[in-house]
Structure 1
Amino acid sequence: MRAPEFRGDSDTNSMAAGFWLNDVKNMLNRVLYDDQGKLDGVMSLLIEQASVWWNTVVARVSTEQITWEFFLREFMEMYIGDVFVNEMMQQFLNLKQSGKTIYEYECEFHKLSRFSSEFIPTEKSRIDRFVSGLDSQYKRILVSHHFTAFQEVVNKAKAMEQQLKIKEKTWLLRHAGEIVAVAFWR
């Protein structure tokens, strides 16, 4: 599996750059590269304007300074920026389910939590933050449980959501005639 190349052109937005960097970091971590291997790997993925940018960056520093951490800092500064990271952190802190499905809320939680790791440093804090953003019908019940794994609370919330859907369908089927009659007489 080959990671996507990064162009760094004017169409690149902070979100796309952040996702690209996250995907590349995950891929490089899976193949167990050391930091020099990660740096070599990521440099091979920079093309067009991104390659020009990186060549300009490395031309102004000594070879000893060019490390994986140096690349990450420079990339974040160039393509992602503090304003974007702060905006994503704020979105994470304000994240609520607000009528989304549990799956949609979970996806948004994961997407935004990457920028807010200092707010959820432990499994318990991740669980608590996830539960606090749920709609009240789920939060009321889940807050009284003592979950030890994040996925455990997510799975429980999804199961509750399924049960609610079944109850709603059952109620609608039972009362379909009444609903039609009321609508007819209006």
Structure 2
Amino acid sequence: MDMVRREKPLVDKIRKQRVKEFRAIIDDDLERGEFWLENTIRVFDELSCTPEKCVKCEVSLLRYSAFQWWNTLLSVVSREKITWEFFQKKFQKKYISQRLSKYARECISTEPIMCKRFEDGLNENIRLSVGIQELREFVVMVERAWKAEELVKEKRKEDNKS
């Protein structure tokens, strides 16, 4: 009887390379997220993973608030538009905005006040897009502002073409 040897799933291969799940919690060291991403990128390069598999595996390693962030991202951006490069950029932006919000909390007492000050600093087009959503969670507001900015840029490109 011939035995068919099945190839191990990619997630098993990356775990064998000691890539761990990312279990983001509120008191996490924010540099830990950046280190985790850099480490997984290195492992994916070593395993010659396709960009599509990189995103799929990366998401399978997200836990707790990191997975909630992913779900929030999917509510704003369609899955088809999420490339490996896009995922990396968004993950890094999330940690930059969290790092900034950590410093802002030292000066501003509540998250709604932080959101209001952030919103007031946006340009008019983006402020209108974000303001009508009445967001009171800083990280979500930063994500939506980024998305609004991308849409404004796309509209400008379309206008310039016509």
Normalization by structure 1: what TM-score? Answer: 0.42
Q: Which structure has the higher relative contact order (CA within 8 Å, separation 6+)?
A: 2
Structure with bigger gyration radius: 1
Query: TM-score, normalising length from structure 2?
Result: 0.47
